[in-house]
Chain A
Amino acid sequence: MLLQRFLIRLLTMAITLFGVAVVVFVVIRVAPGDPIAMMLPPGATDADIARLRALYGLDKTIVQQFFIWLAGVVRGDFGTSISLRQDVLGLVVNRLPATLELAIVALLMALAIGGTTAILGARERGTAVEAGIDIASGAALSIPDFLWGLVLILLFGVLVPVFDISGRVSPQLNLPFVTQFYLFESIVRLRFDLTKDLLAHMLMPAVALALPLAAIISQLLKQSLKEVLDLDYVVLARVKGFSETQVILREALKNAALPTLTLVGVQFTFLIGGTVIVERLFSYEGLGNMAIDAVINRDLPLIQGIVLVFALLFVLINLSVDMMYALLNPRLRHG
């Protein structure tokens, strides 16, 4: 049954990705600007333009172009970036790790902040502490990552300049890395001086991305915890003499976590979507920042590639959350 569920999800995933590919392909070809004209110097002849159009396959009909592109994508060939004149897949693969590291650090922060405040709020339910947590999470939720980013730039970039507000790593540093997973590699290589520099750059964009998600986790987990805390088995644990914190951590948490988990999946895709503008805000050299440049330069192949990679990431996250839910939920596991 789990396998069947998995296969159905895989099929809908493929349909969704195909839909994304069609939509983005159609949308960017409605564009009035001619990317080829932008590439050539003003004195270029019509013949030059035509030759270049043919080179990038832009002289064929939209349907033909779509299937040529799709056939390439299936083989792992996403075409050539018009503005950077490099292989799109190479460009994307080069930038993706920076975005993934940022998103994962932000997710971990959101889980830590949201989890802690939820447990604290559940333990202190009905007190001023819980009310304070509710107000804070309400504000964190209503203010989007873009605005949090600006607030953080003002507070910790200008007012008390403790963090770098642009880039991924200090430019004067010598980087020994062979992969683009700088943070991960710096830890593996035990170069904690570099880890520190990377984290100092990453901290503010990550917090900006994490705060709205932390608020959602906090609210939902606290609610589930409060419901679970009235159940018999928890009351029994309390009677046995466990402290309230122990009761929450040892008994209540694992049963309250499941509804939060499903939500975190969807919300994590929103967080990744947020990296686009947050990376721009902090001049962080990730995929989102490159995507905005690609749009401004009308770099059709690059836009297509990046959007498809984002979409792939989103459906993969949803798929893994769905599978994790099925594995962890006893009702589905034995069903």
Chain B
Amino acid sequence: MDEARISRHGSRARLWLAGGWLLIALLAAIFAPLVAPQDPLAQDLMLERLPPFWLSGAEPGYWLGTDSLGRDLLSRLIFGARIAFIVAFAAALAACLVGSTLGLIAGYFGGFADRIISRIVDVWMAFPPVLFAILLVAVLGTGLSSVIIAIAVIDWTRFCRVIRAETMGQSRMDYVENARIAGYGRIGIMLREVLPNVVPSIVALLSLEMGIAVIVEAILSFVNLSISTDDPTWGGIIAEGRLSIHQAWWVLVFPLVTLILTVLSFSQFGEGLRARFDPVLR
């Protein structure tokens, strides 16, 4: 019992820490023009490769230093958060909508619908996901909507597989049988009885998927295929940092730390939410 209390304590702490970081990053993204100390696009060759504030040679106002074109790193990270969050929310929601719907249908109705959907999932799982994403964006043309569509097209299977399995389990339970005896229609049972019981899994997956979407966007930016090259993105900054790694390590370190914190937070936040919602775990 002691162990259970400790782990519940731990999971609550994780939920707060993760949620706290995500809130800070989200607020920074929303109010980017107000909080960013500099113009993220302003180049100044007199200020190129300034180190972060605690090192000698740093300039006041450029807290995390500058890149090889003299652009302020902190401001670029703050503006990059905008694209990261837009992609995270939009892509994860789209993937969730498509995947959960198909998973619910496959799991609840079974039979022919399940066979078709499962076959499509099999085909999708045979693609290397990163290559598929790069291919889709190359085909759709770079831009925010292409990135969102590409991520949703690739990752709906994650929702579909989990929700299908959960729905199958729920469908065999007594309460579904009781609802049927009580005279509810099949679609009514699916939406009113089964769906609420798989929502905790959907929420946890949604949070996890947001983290994955942020990574995929960064990967696409890294291979120069995401948004236009002018707008700062975390992946784009990382790609620059990778090139000037021996001259200005901070250009790689700060976006990397930001990305890791964000991804960890999304997955921990999802886990924490699941633990709170799930009646069995609670």
- Give the B-binding residues of A (Cβ under 8 A): 12, 15-17, 19-20, 23-24, 27-28, 30-32, 139, 142-144, 146-147, 150-151, 153-154, 157-159, 269, 272-274, 276-277, 280-281, 288, 291-292, 295-296, 298, 303, 306-307, 310-311, 314-315
Kindly list chain A residues whose C-beta atoms are within 8 Å of the C-beta of B259: 147
Do residues B126 and A17 form an inter-chain contact, with CB atoms below 8 A?
A: yes
Which size bracket describes the interface of B in this complex? 35 or more
A-side interface mostly? helix
Report 12 cross-chain contacts, Cβ distance below 8 Å, ordered by A residue. Answer: A12-B119, A16-B119, A16-B126, A19-B122, A27-B135, A144-B212, A146-B222, A150-B242, A153-B252, A154-B252, A307-B132, A310-B126
Report A254 CB to chain B, min CB distance, Å.
28
Q: How far is the CA of A254 from the CA of B56 in the complex (A)?
A: 58
Identify which of B120, B139, B242 gathers the most chain A CB atoms within 10 Å of its CB: B139
Kindly list chain B residues whose C-beta atoms are within 8 Å of the C-beta of A20: 123, 126-127
Do residues B219 and A277 form an inter-chain contact, with CB atoms below 8 A?
A: yes
Report A9 CB to chain B, min CB distance, Å.
11
Do residues A280 and B135 form an inter-chain contact, with CB atoms below 8 A?
A: no
Q: How far is the CA of A27 from the CA of B131 in the complex (A)?
A: 13
Do residues A295 and B256 form an inter-chain contact, with CB atoms below 8 A?
A: no
Report B269 CB to chain A, min CB distance, Å.
11
- Known interface pairs A154-B253, A277-B222; 11 further A-B residue pairs with C-beta atoms within 8 A, sorted by A's residue number: A16-B126, A17-B126, A20-B123, A23-B127, A28-B135, A28-B139, A143-B263, A146-B218, A147-B215, A153-B245, A311-B126
Report A38 CB to chain B, min CB distance, Å.
13
Do residues A27 and B136 form an inter-chain contact, with CB atoms below 8 A?
A: yes
Do residues B139 and A30 form an inter-chain contact, with CB atoms below 8 A?
A: yes
Do residues B127 and A154 form an inter-chain contact, with CB atoms below 8 A?
A: no
B188 within 8 A of A: no
Q: How far is the CA of A226 from the CA of B238 in the complex (A)?
A: 41
Do residues A303 and B252 form an inter-chain contact, with CB atoms below 8 A?
A: no
Indicate whether A277 sits within 8 Å of B130 (C-beta atoms), given known contacts A142-B267, A153-B242, A158-B245: yes
Q: Which of A27, A272, A274, A311 contacts B139 (CB 8 A)?
A: A27
1/0 per residue B123-152: CB within 8 Å of A?
Answer: 101111111101110110100000000000
